[in-house]
A and B are shown apart, each in its own frame.
Chain A
Amino acid sequence: MVYVVLLMPIAVWIMVDFFNKVPVEIDETALIDGCNPIQAFIKVVLPNSIPGMVVAGLFCMIFGWTDFFFAFILTFTEVQLLPVAIVSLNSSITPWWSLSAAALVSVAPLIVVAFIVERYLSKGNLSGALK
């Protein structure tokens, strides 16, 4: 819930920018072609904003995944988020190898996600190539 409240403004900020980039004429053409405003949004505006959704999703994921402050304050010892769990490995003698390995493993999902959504990100660059 805390993360939703925290990240919603970022997602809205990114998405508004993407929606604004869809030319109003495309929206109007959809209406002329028989879509009502809701259908125009779902069938035309939304598919053309997929790169925006991917970017917003990625930003939110990175922020959420790497957040320490709220994870540290709001989670308990039984249920811990990854950054807090990694820090808790620390003891009187700093186990650098464990910390490094844990940090690497913790960013692995982000790397995987980045590879999966890469084509959408590059699509975003191309979709701006409207003549």
Chain B
Amino acid sequence: MTLIASNLTTKGKEEFFLNDISFEMSPGKIYTIIGRTLSGKTTLLKTIAGLIAQDSGTLSFNGDNFDVIPVWKRQVAMVYQQFINYPHLNVFENIAFPLKQRKVDAVEIKNRVQQAIEQVGLEGFEERKIQALSGGQQQRVALARSLVKNANILLLDEPLVNLDYKLREQLREEFKKIFSSKTSEEAILIYSTTDPIEAMQLGGEVIVMDEGKILQQGSAKEIYENPATTKVAEITNDPAMNLVDGEINGKKITLNNEVILKVPKHFKDLTDGKYSFGIRASGVTIDKSGFPFQIELAEISGSETFLHLNNDQIHLVGLLDSVKNFDIGETVKVSFDIEKLYAFGSDGILMSSPYSGTK
């Protein structure tokens, strides 16, 4: 049971929605597609579902040509980012809908719906109208409806994006439990998101997309440690990885002619020259021996503070692992953890990473 896409291309008037997409997916794994808005995630999911026909390329499932099978005959389930349910039906009827369509026996429908309701934690809500549920509960109904089908391919299009922070955290945990259940072992799970934290937390295989193209595919750890390009580094980090142009000259790194750093050990094989240096916010912090930067903005997030720093030419985001108030325009000394530095070539390709050294 393998889903294979070969050179899928879908073109709009001017831009590509999907640009030569190829992949192979097998059951029992979560495939997380991460990309910014308009990167082609939803188009890809809808193409797999059969709701959009690609201009060129092929899609095959289990050796069969998937393109000739209409949507309603594909063994696919999908959860949208909007809470899409049937407003004229109650919770039970909503979840039972796909089974009734497949003319499943009434007793089996009852059992399977009850099982799905338990899986998503909606016991006691069977008779409720959809409008009488909260956003999180509505999304649980949509998820239960997609699980009850025992579909071969489960597509989740940013299912948590419209929920509040707490509920998102809670449902993300529950999703992981549901996805690791026996039912999901036989299905290919494809989850799209714009949130790097979500992508990393779900684990599994991560596919990074931008402008309709797959930029990188690999395990969450691999992508975190070795983002193939500056674009991947920006997309898969929150806040985006800081990228600063600079130069290696002997044992020194000069960032924008202003900040001078020592060359870290993992850069030892890099030749002198110009690079784009990357460092995550966690590698930029306040230290008395550092370089002067002005605070543009200080954002308190939970128990941390994100600092937006500027010194005329370099704009950075730093991270303090404590809560502290700063005045806008205040000057602070900033230091860089050189052991966390990445080097990208002028074409944006990763040259050296703290985890695997020079490529």
Q: Is the interface of A mostly helix, strand, loop or mixed?
A: helix
Closest beta carbon of chain A to B19's beta carbon, Å: 23
The answer to whether A23 and B82 have CB atoms under 8 Å apart is yes
B138 contact from A44, A50, A131, Cβ within 8 A: A131
Q: Name B148-175 residues within 8 Å CB distance of A.
A: 149, 162
Whether B82 lies near A32 (C-beta < 8 A) is no
A48-B88, A129-B131 known; A25-B82 Cβ under 8 A: yes
- Of the listed stretches B70-78, B234-242, B265-273, chain A binds B70-78
Check if B70 sits within 8 Å of A36, measured CB to CB: yes
Give 1 or 0 for each of A111-131: 1 = CB within 8 Å of chain B CB.
Answer: 000000000000000110111
Q: Would B131 and A31 count as touching, CB distance under 8 A?
A: no
B131 & A126 in contact (Cβ 8 Å cutoff): yes
Complex-state Cα separation, A47 to B149, whole angstroms = 23
* Contact B98–A34 (Cβ < 8 Å): yes
Residue of A nearest to B131 (CB): A129
Interface flags, B317-337, vs A, CB<8A=1, else 0: 000000000000000000000
Asked whether B71 lies within 8 Å of A32 as measured between CB atoms, the reply is yes
Closest to B79 in A: A29
Whether B87 and A31, one on each chain, are in contact in the complex, defined by CB atoms closer than 8 angstroms, is no
Residues of B contacting A131 in the complex (Cβ-Cβ under 8 angstroms)? 83, 135, 138, 162
A130 & B83 in contact (Cβ 8 Å cutoff)? yes
**B291 at the A/B interface (Cβ < 8 Å)?**
no
CA distance A29 to B101 in the complex (A): 12
Residue A107 lies at the interface, judged by CB distance under 8 Å to chain B? no
Chain A residues lying within 8 Å of B97, measured Cβ to Cβ, are 33
Cα(A116)–Cα(B162), bound, Å: 38
CB-based contact A34/B77 at 8 Å: no
Query: CA–CA, A39 to B72, complex, Å?
Result: 10
Chain A positions 77 through 115: 1 when the CB is less than 8 Å from some CB of chain B, otherwise 0? 000000000000000000000000000000000000000
Most chain A C-beta atoms within 10 Å of own C-beta, residue among B71, B77, B138: B71
The reply to whether the CB of A26 lies closer than 8 angstroms to some CB of chain B is yes
What interface size band does chain A fall in? Answer: 20 to 34
Interface residues of A in 1-39 (CB under 8 A from B): 23, 25-26, 28-36, 39
B28-50 contacts to A (CB < 8 Å): 46, 49
By a CB distance below 8 angstroms, the chain A residues around B162 are 131
Residue of B nearest to A49 (CB): B88
- B16 at interface by CB-CB < 8 Å: no
B84 at interface, CB cutoff 8 A: yes
CA distance A81 to B87 in the complex (A): 41
CB of B182 closer than 8 Å to a CB of A: no
Q: Nearest-CB distance from A119 to chain B (Å)?
A: 14
Chain A residues, Cβ within 8 Å of B72: 31-36, 39
Interface centre among A33, A34, A130 (most CB of B within 10 A): A33
A31 CB → nearest B CB, Å = 4
Is B102 in the interface zone, CB < 8 Å from A?
A: yes
Residues of A within 8 A of B138 (CB): 131
Residues of A near B260 (CB, < 8 A) are none
A residues in contact with B179, CB < 8 Å: none
- Distance A50 CA – B88 CA, assembled complex (angstroms): 10
A50: chain B residues at CB < 8 Å are 88
Query: Would you call A32 and B83 a contact (CB within 8 A)?
Result: no
10 A-B residue pairings within 8 Å (CB atoms): A26-B86, A32-B71, A33-B97, A33-B98, A34-B98, A34-B101, A39-B72, A39-B101, A130-B83, A131-B135
Q: Which 3 A-B pairs give the minimum distances between C-beta atoms?
A: A34-B101, A33-B98, A47-B88
16 additional contacts (CB under 8 A) given A32-B78, A44-B88: A23-B82, A23-B84, A25-B80, A28-B71, A31-B71, A32-B72, A33-B149, A34-B101, A36-B70, A39-B101, A44-B86, A48-B86, A50-B88, A127-B88, A131-B135, A131-B138
